[in-house]
Structure 1
């Protein structure tokens, strides 16, 4: 049986709406971490390129602190904006799947489905042959 001749089709479609919820604390913490790392990276660049009166450690420390503050605020505002009550994601999910094959390969498909149902897979035994014309183009 050729796998290209099989079609798996979602049937019984239903529309599901969900509100994307990411905890504000988590997004704020991730933003703080990213900001701190970016601040350290910028501070290392400044210590390599610019001449300052501060020691390299002080520049890296200030870069870490400023990056942490900016990242925390950025993550907080992203979390508050993302978790608004009017943001809704709509998705379409099938309630079941149908396996379709040409009618001349129906007996092979029924045999394979019978073996699959023995392996603790829920298989409905509704075997209706679907007649389709497949273009060879």
Structure 2
């Protein structure tokens, strides 16, 4: 029998697979992919370039030893991650732990249930 965390990770893998079927910044799953990467890499912003297969990450690491100004984009450091398979890259970002499970539950609720229920309600109304 699977424990709740295993079920959550399995459902996240299914959602990741579904999100990678249409690689476009216009896709409804682009925000999901960005949020997952932001959570995993603990960054302030993420951009996915599907064409060149590059993920750009902006971290809030300071450039100097001065006091850290929280979320000052001018002080952010950009890093690039190249990938060959986005689905496998996103699946590799899944972690264990209470914080991760809470985040994944939120993502699953929003991207699996709410949009479908809203669309079903709009169609039947």
- Alignment TM-score > 0.5, same fold: no
Instruction: Identify the TM-score tier after normalising by the shorter chain.
Output: under 0.3
TM-score (norm 1): 0.25
